[in-house]
Amino acid sequence: MLVLGRSQVETLLDMDVLIDAMASAMADLSAGRASAPDRVAALVPEQEGLLAAMPGFVPSAGVLMSKLVSLFPRNAGTPLPTHQALIVVFDPDTGEPAALLDGSVITAARTAACSALSVRLLARRDATVLAVLGTGVQARSHAHAICRVRPIRQVRVAGRDPAKAAAVAEELSSVLEAEARAASSYAEALDGAHIAAATTHALEPVIRRPWLSAGVHITSVGYNPAGREVDDATVAEALVCVESRQAALAPFPAGSNDLLTPIRNGLVTADHVHAELGELVLGSTTGRSSPEQITLYKSVGVAVQDAAAAALVVTAAREQSIGEEITLW
């Protein structure tokens, strides 16, 4: 079995290749070719945490795998990340365990790559101003990924802690071609932004309709079992897209409060979900209908994303002779 640590996985991931791999994986999922059951989770109530299992099979990538991911929101502000994960890859012909790799880097990268795919499919082509809401790993990953698919000239970073927002903006300024600056509030960051990337653990919405400009594309990837990132008014007005209708509308721990709450309150119906990303990739459904339309990609994370990313990493590792081979039995 091949074993790959975090730094090795990070080295082996290519974001441009990964974005394209997300397109193929999403198309497989929407076409019914891939298998990705809803995630299940064991809860740790005293820590407000959970451990989720996400198995997936993507025939086009030739990969069968399962991810174990923990979500402990109380880790925010500590040296430990809120999301920590391991991925086990199996031989799809025999079921033999073939690789064990860090899943935290993959989780951050594949989430940002799929958001970038949504930007490629739904955002205006002339989008140049990006608002990043949040100051964690996903905030950084999203800034890097989205700048690869649109000509971003300005990145605005906002979070609960102004010092952290300033630090992230300074970091991004040193590595991106775009100017990056901290905003004093979510509303300020969103004012006039063409793309908004919400990457928080918010209890209350950080995306609110009065703060948005016409034509903005929103990616919302944050997850808090007790909260949400997007307000009802934005959901009701936006053209809403997801990875999987089944996953997004499933009960906890798989679904999205951002969509389930307005559906439960009768503001919209399940039919308000316009499309899956895979349907847009396949061309079976159209996307943005006008420059002024607000579009929303609400992500809950699906296993085919992890599977496609893991396949890229394992293939690159074997080609470059990176990693350690161990024997389990």
Can you tell me the distance from the alpha carbon of 85 to that of 69, in angstroms, rounded to the nearest whole number? 4
Domain range 2-107+304-325, its CATH number among 3.30.1780.10, 2.160.10.10, 1.10.286.10, 3.40.30.10: 3.30.1780.10
- Copy the structure tokens of residue 309: 């990313």
Element at 196 (helix H, strand E): strand 195-198
Give the C-alpha separation, 107 to 112, whole Å: 9
pLDDT at 224: 84
Quick one: pLDDT at residue 264?
Answer: 95
- Describe the chain by its helix, strand, coil percentages, rounded to 5: 40, 25, 35
pLDDT (0 to 100) of residue 84 = 95
Give the DSSP H/E element, type plus range, for residue 3: strand 2-4
From CA 134, how far away is CA 142, in angstroms rounded?
A: 10
Alpha helices (H) along 3-103: 6-12, 15-30
- pLDDT for 33 equals 96
Q: What is the helix (H) or strand (E) element at residue 70, kind and residue range?
A: strand 63-71
pLDDT tens, position by position, for the chain (329 residues)? 999 999 999 999 999 999 999 999 999 999 999 999 989 999 999 999 999 999 999 998 999 999 999 999 889 878 898 889 999 999 999 999 999 999 999 999 999 999 999 999 999 999 999 999 999 999 999 999 999 999 999 999 999 999 999 999 999 999 999 999 999 999 999 999 999 999 998 999 999 999 999 999 999 999 888 899 999 999 999 999 999 999 999 998 889 999 999 999 999 999 999 999 999 999 999 999 999 999 999 999 999 999 999 999 999 999 999 999 999 87
* Contacts of residue 83, Cβ cutoff 8 Å, sequence gap at least 6: 69, 70, 71, 104, 107, 108, 137
Are 294 and 265 contacting, i.e. CB atoms less than 8 angstroms apart? no
Tokens of 119: 């930007």
Beta bridge partners of 65: 56, 89
pLDDT confidence of residue 257: 95
**Topology match between the domains 2-107+304-325 and 115-301:** no
d(CA 109, CA 113): 6
* pTM, rounded to two decimals: 0.95
Residue 63 one-letter amino acid: V
Query: Domain 115-301 class?
Result: alpha beta
Beta bridge partner(s), residue 220: 198, 298
* Annotated domain spans of the chain: 2-107+304-325, 115-301
How many other CB atoms are found less than 10 A from the CB of residue 24? 17
Q: Cα separation of 144 and 139, whole Å?
A: 9
**Taking the CA atoms of the chain, what radius of gyration do you get in angstroms?**
19
Of the CA atoms within 13 Å of residue 251, those in its CB half-sphere come to 2
pLDDT, residue 108, reads: 94
